[in-house]
Each structure stands twice: as structure tokens, then as C-alpha cells.
Amino acid sequence: MQPNYAKGTIGAGQLFLTLFVARIVILLSLNTALTGGERLQELLPSCLGAYLLSFPLVLPVWLMRRGNPKDDPLRAARRILGRPGLLLAPVYAVYFLCFGGFCLSLLLLFMANVMEPLAPLPVLALALSLTAAYAAFQGVETIGRTAAIVTGLAAGGLALIAALLTAKIDPLNFVPFFEDGGRQAAQGGLLLLARSDGLTALAFLGVRARGKLTRGFVIWNTAVYALTAAVLAAAAGAMGGYLDRQLFPVYAAAASADAGIVQGMDAVLIGIWIFSLLVKLSTDLYLFRLCAESVRPAAGKGAAIAGAVLTAGLAIAVCSFRSLQRVFYGVEFFLVFTLVCACLIPLFLAIARVLRRRGKRRGRRAAALLLALLLCLPLTGCQEQIRLNHRLLVEGIGIDREGGEFVLTVQSTRIAEDENREVSVHTVSGPSVLEALSELTRRTGQNPLYGHGLVVAFGRSCAERGVAEWIDFLVRSPELRPSAQLLMAEGSAADLLTAESEGKTIPAGTLADILGTANINGRIASVSLNSFVNRLDEDGAAYLPVLRPIDGGVEASGTALLDGEGRLLSVIGDEATRGLLYLTGEFSGGLEKAALPDGSVLTARLRDLQTEVDVSLDGELPRFVVSIRCGADVAALDAADESADAGLYGEMERSLAERIKKEAQTALDLCLRDDQADVFRFSRRVRQAYPEKWREWRDNWGEIAAEAIVTLDVSVTVARVGQEDTPPIG
């Protein structure tokens, strides 16, 4: 008996929008752990390889449908093989259930590791699955309409996130491709193909679509991999190696994609994820329903609900058991399953087909726009499950070492019942940072919530022992944002976070404000968690601003240089700090004084500084030519009776250039020559330009960098208020 196919169909555009949205779920879960590598950027060539291979892999579906355009694999098998063809139904049913459970488990894993869900994970899994089951019961038309709406949200949101990240791209965050011989890129390509269940879905849904499928497939396949590559490239370029340690790197990147008053796009990404997952689960359950109806036409109603329960159960099981995670999150299982269902079975049916035309085009009215509104409830997962007055809003953490224990000084702001803010300081200790923070929870009875402007201060004792042993906790902490500011206390971090002004504890936000003055005076380094981790991972060195408490406040007192293990090497002063900022291109603005040949003193405000570094080889040593260009506005000149003629402006520019060059040279001498600390990222430039030479030098790069030839080329342009008849300065 043939199943009672529904009359509903969708347009080719709706079909490929449905498959496009479903693919977004895969994009949001990509990480280096899945590909067994070290660099997120290695997934970029993986995208190209998977994109090209998708075209030959879809050919068997086209060949199968040539004999009868209305044939999906199960119809073709029944028509060609008779009743034995029904044996393929459970194969495809299990395939779609596994993919649905896999995709749902990714969200549950995210909620368990990053968010605090509003409901227990089993309840959340069952709620999402049943919502999708209703959509699957309604049919493919509603799924197509829902996908069209979700596509606008998803594509627009991801495009915005990519654009915000693109504005933050640092070319030094990229390294040469295939440093591992292409192993990770190949593994990533296989992973992307293994996740290509859209090829199998196309074999079923293509017979229910109106329009030109060939052109639609080309556009869909191109859009899928172009979007994946664009998001990954923007994320890797903006955040570098920091993302390589993240379980959900795209989410971590979105959290740092800010614009104006918008502090992170993570909430937008969560919305995209949940709505895309709805479409994905609806599609998988609808296809599962088709498999059940091919065996028993009356099974449609119960099949969608049964599939939802099985999907939820499988997702929970995958999240709970490591053995299942190794299977479902690996490559082999889904790669073999996808190749069999998407390619081998259609190819077999195409070869063995008997040209018989029978049966009706089937389908059901489709999917779940109405119940999509229910997903607004899980969207509040980006809010907090616990009331705000029950949270400890952590704004500053000080880390010291005493013997074998970490001593943490935590400055928090508590929202009282009357909504007033109460600043308090807690001191806890433990054998690790995590255990010390757990002690904080036990003492206060409140769960910590890390603020957007979090400041982490390391005591000198901690820096002398090395920070690498605890930095992994900060990177993997789901609530800690990559924009958190790091610094070193001149003495103990406890003294810094308990410093007082006018009888009140100085808020951690004030420390962040002091670091923020780097944009004003240009003598303070500002280091985020993201940039610090990237520098440590580059086999070079890192640096941190140093603050100290004084009577009535806190002040900056230089910059700490750290080696590749995060151990303190030395502390440089203000002049060398400014030279460091010149050389790294991180100088935003500030006043600079220079003595003119006639003995007068010029004070100028520097702006628009740009630093370019060219690298070459000079025998067995690297050569770096550092070009520094900036503009300057005259702020004061002690010889007010002098006319600002062209000659005077020339002297100003030469004097300022010499002053900048002197400070930059001081930084080079102290950092490179004395401490062998390449805080200027010269190592990354060598790695990009001469990868073979870098492999030779990397083990003793500190010594090589100390002998490197560095040439400074500095030019300053002083703004003129006029041309030939410039008025006097005064």
C-alpha cells in the first residue's frame, strides 16, 4: 500500500532557505577540538574543500531523480525493489533522528557550559522537540515560510557580527596556513562534509519543491560556505589564538563584537541559534515522519511526537555520556552515515532503477511559525535564572600567591532589595583560582556574576611565579568576557583592590578608568584578556600595565614585561612604555614634549599614529624596518613671540620625530636587548613572511630577537593653521 502523500509543496527558494538556516546550527558549534587542531583559521581552507566536494556528492541524487522527478529515496526503493525497499526507511529514520539529537545536544551543551538555563536541560530539550514536532505535523509549507523569516534574522545578525569583528581584525592574528602539513584542514573538510545532512534532506524535499533546483543548489551551497568562511575569518582575525581554546568560539567572538552602547552581540547570536535550531529540528522530524509514513501511511500523527521524544532523549544522552560524545562529535560516524544516505543509496537506486512511473506527489502542509513564538521564552537564557539581588556582581579580582595557595581579593557590587549598589571586598584562598572562587560562593551564599568591565589584577608574587598556570581558567570561564582588563599590582593585588580614597574603597571601575586614560596621555598600556592570551601563545612575550596605591588614590607605575610562560622579567618606566606603544601601533594619543634647536620647548598633542613593520633577512639575522607616522597639533610653545613660519614648523617636526625615535629605541633596548622579550610581535611577522626560517628560530627566538637589526623611520606632520602667512603662535 502506498502512503497517502499530502498535496503541499514549497518553492525551491523556500527549500534552500530551510536548508540554509539548518546549516547555521553547524556553523555556531565549530571549534578546534572537533578538528583535532590548534588554529580556527585552518577551517577556512576546509570550507573551500568541502564546498568543491559537495558538487560531485550531490550528483547521485540528480541521477536517481532523472528516471522519475517525483522520486525520493524511499519512493524509488519501493518502486524499484518492491517491499524489500522498505528496509531503507528505518535507515533514513535513524539518520534524521541522530542528526536532530546531535544538533539539539549542541545547544544543551552550550546551555550547560556557558549559560544558566531557565529550566533543567531535559525539560528544555523536550519543550524544543515538541515545539518542532508540532511544526513537523503541520507540514513542509509552514517550515518553508518559517525558514524564510528566520533567514532574515540569521543572515542579518551574522552579517552584523561579522562586520563588527572585521573592524577589529589584526593581520598579525593570522599565521601561515598548513603549518601542520594540512592535517587539520583535511580533518576540518571531512567534518564539514560529515555535517552535510542537507544533501540527504535535499533528496527528500527536492521532490516537494517547485522551481529550478540545480540553480538553487549552487546558490545555497555557495552561500553556506561563504557565510561560514566569512564568520570564521572575521572571528579569527579579530581575536586570534584566544578562540582556539574556546568550546564555542563563534559565541565568544560575538560577545566581543560591540558597537557603541551595544556591549556584545552574544544575545543576538543566541536568538539566531534557537530559531535556526527550531527550523532544523522541524525539518528532521518532518523527514522522520516521512520515513514512518512510507512504512505505515497512518503513522504521521504519532511519528512526529515519537520522534520528538526520541530526539530529546538522544540529545540528553549525548550530553551525559562521554562515549556518545566521542561518537556524535567525531567525524567518522556521521561521515560514513552521510555518505551512505546522501550518495551511495541514491547512486545504487540510480543504477538499478526501473523506469516505472506511479504514485502521487506527496507532502504535508507545513511547519511551525505560530509556535516559534514559544521560543521567546528560552531566549531569556541570556538573562539570569537567579534574581539579580541574589547575585554577587564581581567587578574586580586580585590574585596573589602565598606559599602553595592562591589568595583572591574579590571586589563586588551587590544589588540590594532597595536596588542600591553596595560595594564590598572579600578575601578567599584555595589551591586553585576555581576553588578559591567556590569558597567565595560558600561564604556569601551568592553566585558570582562577572561584569562587562571586569578588572583582573595580579600581585607581583603571582607574576613572579608565572601566570600561565591559571590563565586557562580565565579563558575557559564562560561568563568572563575577552574584553576583561588585566594588570599587575606593584606590590600585592590585595593592597590595590582595598585601596581607599576619602574613606571609601576605590571601585574596580576606577582602575579600568585609569587604564582607559591610555587614549589621553599615551603613557599607560591597556591589555585585554584576549590580547594577553594571544601574545602568550605566540612564543614571544607579553606585558601588563602596573598600578600601585598611593595616598588618596591609585596611579600607574610602568609596564611589566613577562616571558612566554607569563613570568615577570622586569618593569619599564613611562618613557619606555610610550616607546612600546609607538612600536606596537597601540598609541592612541597624548602630549609629547620636545626641545627645539633654539632652546624653546614645544608641547604637542600627537594623533593618528600609524606603525608599519617590514621584515626581511640580513644574512642569518632578521631585519625589521619600523615606520612610524603621526600628526601633531601644537599645544604650547614657550617662545610665543616667534612667528610660525615654514622653518619653525620643520624644526618642530624634526624635534618631535627625534623624541619619538628616542623613546622607541629605549623600549627596544630594554625589551629586546636586555630582557629578550619580544613584546612587539616581531615573531609573528617572521612566522608570516618566512615560515621555514621561523621553524628554525622559534626555539631560541629570544636570543635571535636580541640580535635582530631594527631600523626606525619616524616622521611627524605638524598641523598648520594656514599656508604662507601663518599667524604667530601664542
Which pLDDT belongs to residue 660?
93
**Residue 463 near residue 562 (C-beta atoms within 8 A):** yes
Which pLDDT belongs to residue 4?
40
H helix or E strand, kind and range, residue 595: strand 590-595
Amino acid letter for position 59: L
| Model pLDDT for residues 338-357, shown as the tens digit of each residue | 999 999 988 888 877 644 44
**Residue 489 near residue 508 (C-beta atoms within 8 A):** no
Average pLDDT over residues 497-510: 83
Average pLDDT over residues 283-297: 88
**Residue 252 near residue 102 (C-beta atoms within 8 A):** no
Residue 3, pLDDT above cutoff 60: no
State the Cα angle at 649 between 648 and 653, rounded to 5°. Answer: 120
Angstrom distance (rounded) from CA 331 to CA 61: 23
Residue 204, pLDDT above cutoff 50: yes
State the Cα angle at 56 between 50 and 59, rounded to 5°. Answer: 135
Q: How many residues does the chain have?
A: 730
Residue 379, pLDDT above cutoff 80: no
CA distances from 677 to 41, 66, 286, 529, 564 (A): 26, 66, 59, 19, 8
Query: What confidence tier does 487 reach under pLDDT thresholds 50, 70, 90?
Result: very high
Which pLDDT belongs to residue 383?
39
Average pLDDT over residues 661-684: 92
CA distances from 727 to 472, 517, 641, 645 (A): 59, 33, 11, 8
Average pLDDT over residues 592-602: 86
C-alpha cell at 466: 608565572
Angstrom distance (rounded) from CA 158 to CA 153: 8
Which three-class secondary structure string do you get for 78-115? HHHHCHHHHHHHHHHHHHHHHHHHHHHHHHHHHHHHCC
What homologous superfamily is domain 574-730 in, according to CATH?
A: Nutrient germinant receptor protein C, domain 3 (3.30.300.210)
Angstrom distance (rounded) from CA 258 to CA 264: 4
Which pLDDT belongs to residue 116?
59
What is the distance, to the nearest Å, from the Cα of residue 616 to the centroid of all Cα atoms in its chain? 32
**Residue 664 near residue 714 (C-beta atoms within 8 A):** yes
Angstrom distance (rounded) from CA 700 to CA 490: 30
Percentage above 70 pLDDT, the chain: 86
Residue 575, pLDDT above cutoff 70: yes
Query: What confidence tier does 521 reach under pLDDT thresholds 50, 70, 90?
Result: low
CATH T-level assignment (fold) for domain 11-382 = Amino acid/polyamine transporter I (1.20.1740)
| Model pLDDT for residues 637-648, shown as the tens digit of each residue | 876 555 556 678
**Coil/strand/helix, residue 548:** strand
| Model pLDDT for residues 331-343, shown as the tens digit of each residue | 899 999 999 999 9
- Average pLDDT in the chain: 82
Which pLDDT belongs to residue 353?
62
Residue 440, pLDDT above cutoff 50: yes
Indicate the angle between helix axes 73-81 and 198-205, nearest 10 degrees. 60
Report which of 506, 388, 401 is spatially closest to residue 455, judged by C-alpha positions.
506
Range name among 16-20, 120-124, 381-385 with the lowest pLDDT average = 381-385
Residue 233, pLDDT above cutoff 90: yes
Higher pLDDT, 107 or 8: 107
Which pLDDT belongs to residue 339?
92
Query: What confidence tier does 358 reach under pLDDT thresholds 50, 70, 90?
Result: very low
What residues does each domain of the chain span? 11-382, 386-572, 574-730
Rg (CA), the chain: 31
DSSP assignment letter at 343: I
| Model pLDDT for residues 454-486, shown as the tens digit of each residue | 889 999 988 888 887 677 777 777 667 788 889
Angstrom distance (rounded) from CA 428 to CA 408: 5
**Residue 40 near residue 177 (C-beta atoms within 8 A):** no
Average pLDDT over residues 538-564: 86
Which pLDDT belongs to residue 727?
44
Residue 709, pLDDT above cutoff 90: yes
